[in-house]
Amino acid sequence: MQVGDKIYIAGHRGMVGSAMHRKLEKEGFHNIVVRTSAQLNLTNQAAVADFFEQEKPDYVFLAAAKVGGIHANNTYRAQFLYENLMIQNNVIHQSYLSGVKKLLFFGSSCIYPKLAPQPLTEESLLTGLLEPTNEPYAIAKISGIKMCEAYRDQYACNYVSVMPTNLYGYADNYHPEHSHVLPALIRKFHEAKVKGAQHVEIWGSGNPLREFLFVDDLADAAFLIMQNYHEKPFLNVGTGTDLSIRDLAILIQNIIGFEGELIFNPEKPDGTPRKLMDVSKIKSIGWEPKIDLETGIILAYQDFIKNLNTN
Ligand code: GFB
């Protein structure tokens, strides 16, 4: 990618797409094409074809997706499968037809089997059964990886995929039910503190282990991969360390300053017991995360407060 190249970010208003936008601007890229979902419905094949025909981007970051936490994944199962397949099928295929030089597809750590050996290496893909709560989303993301690989095999397209661990950061979704755990807990502890509540409910047992990456660190990794990595195997992106949901809750509680009790609700699903990424491959090409968890939560909390009226 050179500074004048035309770059399309699909999903530029989401957490990942907006981080990618910031990163590209910081690196001096100015020829960036974006469309809101109202301007371009990525599930519509004809509309996506017209867009590529008209804009002819050189590079594509495919960050558009229907995403959410464990409850949203489990509730909107049909939409998570259908919308994600349609978006990625349209963007990947039209990129091929319009001669895009390189495309980067964002996947997710939930593509791995529920009980795969930890830390999760890229080789674990398709070696076992998926976690049921997010199987539709995972199947869509696995299809995206396989599409990038197949278009490379058959048409020599330079398409690569990255598998980020659980993300958080600027422009996250703080919906009380549909968000991921980290933004959900920021919101719950903040509201409990403001209202002077006695306790905060944490879903599940608190025992599952999760790894969290600040989204700007992912954008750095994706930029590096776009510039310097041109091979077929997809790459994990994570910090290489995890913590229990209980410890995460205590950390957020302390940062926000909530003094009440934590109550664990076993009626809510735990999801996969652990999904820690093996990040040796991405580290070997020169990437390291820069934002530690505590700093990242403070930044995310500031962003939450700033956008309080829109969250
Ligand atoms: O982040 P999360 O929704 O998704 O939940 P996953 C992680 C863990 O936190 C689960 C617990 O064990 C939840 O039960 N948890 C505790 C909470 N309190 C809360 C809360 O208030 N809200 C939420 N959301 N969780 C998702 C997948 O799995 O991870 C997606 O469903 C995607 O497909 C994403 O891959 C990265 O980590 O379990």
**Residue 52: pLDDT over 80:** yes
The edge-to-edge listing of strands for the beta sheet with 235-237 is 32-33, 7-10, 59-62, 102-106, 158-164, 235-237
Pick from 77, 181, 247 the residue to mutate for probing ligand 1's pocket: most ligand atoms within 8 Å of its CB. Answer: 181
CA of 231 to the centre of ligand 1 (A): 31
For the CA of 133, the nearest atom of ligand 1:
31
Phi and psi of 310, rounded to 5°? -100, -10
In which domain, by residue range, is 40 found?
7-172+212-240+277-292
For the CA of 179, the nearest atom of ligand 1:
24
Identify residue 238 by its one-letter amino acid code. Answer: G
Q: Looking at residue 228, which CATH number applies to its domain? A: 3.40.50.720
Spatial distance between the Cα atoms of 155 and 24, rounded to a whole number of angstroms: 28
CA of 219 to the centre of ligand 1 (A): 22
| Domain membership flag for residue 301 | no
The reported pTM is: 0.97
**Residue 294: pLDDT over 80:** yes
Span 5-45, pLDDT tens digits: 999 999 999 999 999 999 999 999 999 999 999 999 999 99
| Domain membership flag for residue 250 | no
Going by CA atoms, what residue is nearest to atom 33 of ligand 1?
Answer: 134
What contacts 306, CB < 8 A, 6 or more positions away? none
| Domain membership flag for residue 45 | yes
Q: Specify the number of domains making up the chain.
A: 1
Going by CA atoms, what residue is nearest to atom 3 of ligand 1?
Answer: 69
**Residue 46: pLDDT over 90:** yes
Spatial distance between the Cα atoms of 299 and 232, rounded to a whole number of angstroms: 35
Going by CA atoms, what residue is nearest to atom 7 of ligand 1?
Answer: 181
With beta carbons less than 8 A apart as the criterion, state whether 118 and 274 touch.
Answer: yes
| Domain membership flag for residue 300 | no
Residue with tokens 């360390």: 241
With beta carbons less than 8 A apart as the criterion, state whether 93 and 229 touch.
Answer: no
**Residue 310: pLDDT over 80:** no
CA of 288 to the centre of ligand 1 (A): 25
**Residue 267: pLDDT over 90:** yes
What average pLDDT does the segment 46-73 reach? 98
What average pLDDT does the segment 200-221 reach? 98
State the pLDDT confidence band at 202, using cuts at 50, 70 and 90. Answer: very high
Q: Which residues line ligand 1 (CB under 6 A)?
A: 69-71, 73, 108, 110, 133-134, 137, 166, 179-181, 184-185, 202-204, 208, 210, 245, 268-271
Identify whether 137 is a catalytic site residue. Answer: yes
For the CA of 166, the nearest atom of ligand 1:
36
Q: What is the mean pLDDT of the chain?
A: 97
| Domain membership flag for residue 80 | yes
| Domain membership flag for residue 205 | no
**Residue 146: pLDDT over 80:** yes
For the CA of 245, the nearest atom of ligand 1:
9
| Domain membership flag for residue 256 | no
Span 225-259, pLDDT tens digits: 999 999 999 999 999 999 999 999 999 999 999 99
Pick from 70, 76, 218 the residue to mutate for probing ligand 1's pocket: most ligand atoms within 8 Å of its CB. Answer: 70
| Domain membership flag for residue 185 | no
For the CA of 271, the nearest atom of ligand 1:
38
Strands 59-62 and 7-10: parallel
State the pLDDT confidence band at 311, using cuts at 50, 70 and 90. Answer: low
CA of 70 to the centre of ligand 1 (A): 4
What average pLDDT does the segment 163-167 reach? 98
**From the candidates 137, 151, 229, 301, which is the catalytic residue?**
137
CA of 14 to the centre of ligand 1 (A): 18
